[in-house]
């Protein structure tokens, strides 16, 4: 990992600059977001993935991926965004064929699923490979909501903002939730973490807005992990960041 690049040198990406980047008018800079929501958190701690307590990463050499819905009536176009075998950006548009898997080719990472057009899906849409689920889109969101993301090779990522909120339902005792964002280069066990703690009693939502002015050179895996002190807790988060050529 590296903290080099214009981001860490203090170039202000704000105002008109961010509007130009969002419109695709700055060729060397792109933008992305990570959003996730997890309910019924495991007191022992878990990755912020609705369907598992620990996320299984795809092979760093790539895997053949496919996509399918849990409802046979889903035949809408979807966009799948991820990384190829060189950890460079790759995206595929396919039309769902209900519960019959549609091949996506080879990916090393899957970062996003979202529907295209105005017709929503009825079922849950999963991208799978080697028997594992690597991305999920629930019908109430129409965009994947999961706490993992991998920055591409040749890009330095800067986190612009991080917003998180918790809901504690049931009971009046104080409850605490620790949330950590881990960064891990592929083919490595090294992790660097940033974290924060949210605390509340009763059924209340609170949030924090945190800017982390550090650039990290990709490819780098990002994963959020939540550790609550009580049951009946939900955490939601959204992280916005820029990706700049290095």
Alpha carbons 160 and 146: distance in angstroms, whole number: 19
**pLDDT for res 86:** 96
Say what the pLDDT of residue 8 is: 41
Q: What is the rounded CA–CA span in Å between residue 139 and residue 133? A: 16
Domain 7-53+149-245 has CATH 2.60.120: yes
Domain with CATH 2.60.120 in the chain: 7-53+149-245
Answer whether 94's CB lies under 8 Å from 66's CB: no
pLDDT in tens, the chain (246 residues): 333 333 344 445 555 777 787 777 888 888 888 889 888 888 889 999 988 888 999 999 999 999 999 999 999 999 999 999 999 999 999 999 999 999 999 999 999 999 999 999 999 999 999 999 999 999 999 999 999 999 999 998 888 778 888 888 776 678 888 888 888 888 776 677 777 777 776 666 666 665 565 678 899 999 999 999 888 888 888 888 888 888
Q: Which residues contact 78 (CB under 8 A, 6 or more apart)?
A: 67, 93, 94, 95, 96, 113, 114, 115, 116, 121, 125, 137
Q: Looking up tokens 């598992």, which residue turns up?
A: 52
Whether 148 contacts 81, CB under 8 Å? no
Q: How far apart are CA 119 and CA 51, in angstroms?
A: 25
pLDDT, residue 11, reads 47
pLDDT at residue 72, rounded to an integer: 98
Angle among Cα 195, 191, 41 to the nearest 5 degrees reads 50
Residue 165 has which token pair?
A: 């909120």
């Amino acid at each position: 990992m590296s903290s080099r690049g214009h981001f860490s040198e203090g170039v202000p990406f704000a105002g008109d600059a961010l509007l130009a980047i969002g419109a695709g008018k700055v060729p060397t800079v792109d933008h992305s977001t990570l959003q996730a929501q997890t309910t019924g958190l495991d007191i022992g701690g878990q990755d912020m993935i609705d369907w598992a307590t620990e996320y299984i990463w795809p092979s760093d050499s790539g895997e053949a991926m496919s996509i399918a819905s849990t409802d046979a009536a889903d035949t809408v176009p979807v966009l799948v965004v991820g990384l190829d075998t060189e950890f460079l950006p790759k995206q595929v548009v396919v039309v769902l064929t209900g519960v019959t898997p549609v091949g996506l080719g080879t990916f090393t990472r899957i970062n996003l699923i979202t529907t295209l057009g105005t017709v929503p899906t009825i079922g849950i849409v999963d991208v799978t490979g080697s028997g594992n689920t690597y991305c999920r889109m629930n019908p109430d969101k129409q965009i994947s909501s999961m706490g993992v993301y991998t920055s591409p090779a040749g890009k330095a990522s800067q986190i612009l903002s991080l917003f998180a909120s918790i809901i504690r339902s049931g009971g009046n005792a104080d409850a605490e939730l620790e949330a950590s964002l881990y960064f891990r280069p592929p083919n490595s066990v090294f992790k660097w973490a940033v974290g924060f703690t949210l605390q509340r009693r009763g059924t209340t939502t609170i949030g924090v807005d945190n800017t982390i002015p550090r650039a990290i050179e990709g490819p780098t895996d990002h994963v959020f992990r939540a550790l609550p002190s009580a049951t009946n807790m939900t955490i939601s988060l959204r992280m916005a960041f820029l990706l700049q050529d290095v």
